[in-house]
Chain A
Amino acid sequence: MVTRGFTGRRPTADSASRIPPGQHEEHGFPVLSAGPTPRVATSDWTFSLRVGPKPVKSWSWDEFNALPMTTMTRDIHCVTTWSKLDTQWEGVLVDDIFAAASLTPPTEFVLAHTVEGYSTNLPLADLTGGKAMVALRYDGAPIEADHGGPARLLVPHLYFWKSAKWVNGLQFTTRDEAGFWELRGYHMRGDPWREQRFTND
């Protein structure tokens, strides 16, 4: 349905093909979260891998920083309709985390957990094959607390709530278990190119 009198502001030709439907380009970096920003000291931070309830491996901040680092430049897409192009991240690929734990993924589904008790669910296939990392640096500097520092998950090909801030662990689950936002009306997978914003999209 055409809206009378609306012409809109098109993205530039260069970015048009990179902005998914219903999104617009944002040059700042908006902050969104469910509650107050937790302040996490790296001295208190640990990252753990679990299979079901069973802990498999955990790292301190220094140990985690000794894992192989990868840089990624990616476009990110927030479900609140902004997209930001060419964001630069550095961190540890999820593949490298599993390798460092000598872990062969035992199930097809993962819940990412965060320090303040939130979670988000992801199919394993969206985390592996170089597609996702636990990011420690953004734009050449440690990630600010508002943006999820000291560490956030980065799964740039899905809506950005899947890139959980303040991440502190991954847990394999036997089924695709809904995380915090997914229990509150958001889509289980969240592919921005298919506009999978809300539960039944």
Chain B
Amino acid sequence: MTSGARADAQKWQEATIESLSSFSASIKRVLLRPSVWPRFLPGQHIDLRLTAPDGYHARRSYSVTSAPETEGTFELAIERLPGGEVSAYFHEVAEVGDSIEISGPFAEHFVWRSEQPAAVLLIGGGSGVAPLLSMVRHRAFVANASPMTLLYSARTWDDVIARDELMADESLQQRLRVVFCLTRDNARRAVDYSRRIDSEVLRATLATLSPELTFVCGNNGFVGTIADALVELGADAATIRTERYGG
């Protein structure tokens, strides 16, 4: 990114909530249309700012789930967090047509630069799939894409966001594999697992893909466990990029 793009990114601008629906019981799908469209890279986040009448404001980062090619709107997956200040606003108060302030895109580490050919492993837990979803969607626009596998852990089949789309992507995109690991539900497909992502799941995955780059996103415990297991299985720590949220 050029320094000029950064200068624009950090400014706040108004965005309109264009659509508000449910990805799952606990995750809202929010479509935001900014006044000025900034380009972004798959994996980047934008910051949202909510301001109360007395000037108090809350700021949070959300990964963009849409592909950069879907210009004009940012899609976000906002999970309802216990005691959440901003997530509660989106789950209880926000309506289509409301305006909020956004800035960004930000971050240049947890980013997939598809112009560099490399086999990519994506591992997401719960709403941590958000930035990975952008990468999978972006891949549909990339010519001669290298192999990519998405390992996606969710509680149940109905907690898998963009599930039908991901399954369709798998048949539309060459050399894309999508594996769902359901921690509280039965696997529905032969390739899926009805358990959490553990060393065995990772070992089986690494038998089919030799990732040159791995992105892991989810809550802290999830990311810590998986990053450690990958290193133990012989992955080069320098090829693993992590993004964690929560305590």
Contacts and interface: CB of A to CB of B under 8 A. Distances in A.
B230 A36 contact: yes
A30 B242 CA distance: 14
Contacts, number: 115
A35 B240 contact: yes
Main secondary structure of the interface of A (DSSP, over half): loop
Contacts of A185: 1, 6, 106-108
Contact of A81 (B60, B224, B228, B238): B60
Nearest to A26: B247
B231 A29 contact: no
A200 B3 contact: yes
A102 to B, nearest CB: 36
Contacts of B49: 22
A24 B50 CA distance: 13
Main secondary structure of the interface of B (DSSP, over half): mixed
Contact of A6 (B50, B220, B230): B50
Contact of B10 (A34, A36, A199): A199
Contacts of A1: 14, 51, 99, 101
Nearest to A23: B59
A42 interface: no
Interface residues of B, number: 45
B231 A36 contact: yes
Interface in A116-156: 116-117, 146
Contacts of A117: 238
A55 interface: no
Given A2-B52, A8-B85, A32-B244, A198 B227 contact: no
A78 B70 CA distance: 31
Nearest to B104: A198
Contacts of A4: 93, 98-99
14 contacts: A3-B51, A3-B99, A6-B50, A6-B58, A8-B57, A22-B58, A22-B59, A30-B246, A31-B244, A36-B227, A80-B61, A184-B109, A185-B107, A199-B7
